[in-house]
Amino acid sequence: MSEAGRSPRAPPIRVEVDPLKRIDSYDRPLLPDNLVKAMGSSYLRAQDIQETVAGFYSQMARRCAYAVLFAVATQFYIVFRVKAGLRKRNA
């Protein structure tokens, strides 16, 4: 979209640039310090994502375990109620 078509109140669009892409595009000089910072930040970001995903899956596994436990308990309750009802009719 051209600048003329954008309303004057709209904020500029900011795009997050990955540090490794910034190095590839030569926005920064290729110095060892810049490479270490870029690799360290990308590693920490990947580690944060992995921790978030692991937390999500552990929470979903816990919910599934509770659902299975509830289903088994409900099934036992229904079976024993049906057996009690059959005994009552036959007695």
pLDDT tens digits for 46-71?
Answer: 889 999 999 999 999 999 999 999 99
In this predicted structure, the answer to whether residue 25 has a pLDDT above a threshold of 80 is: no
Percent of the chain past pLDDT 70, that is, above it, reads 65
The answer to whether residue 63 is domain-embedded is yes
Record the pTM: 0.50
The answer to whether residue 28 is domain-embedded is yes
Distance CA 52, CA 31 (A): 32
Percent of the chain past pLDDT 90, that is, above it, reads 33
pLDDT score at 12: 56
**Pair 60, 44: CB distance under 8 Å:** no
Grouping H, G, I as helix, E, B as strand and the rest as coil, residue 90 is helix
The answer to whether residue 4 is domain-embedded is no
The answer to whether residue 41 is domain-embedded is yes
pLDDT score at 61: 97
- The token duo for 78 is 């229904």
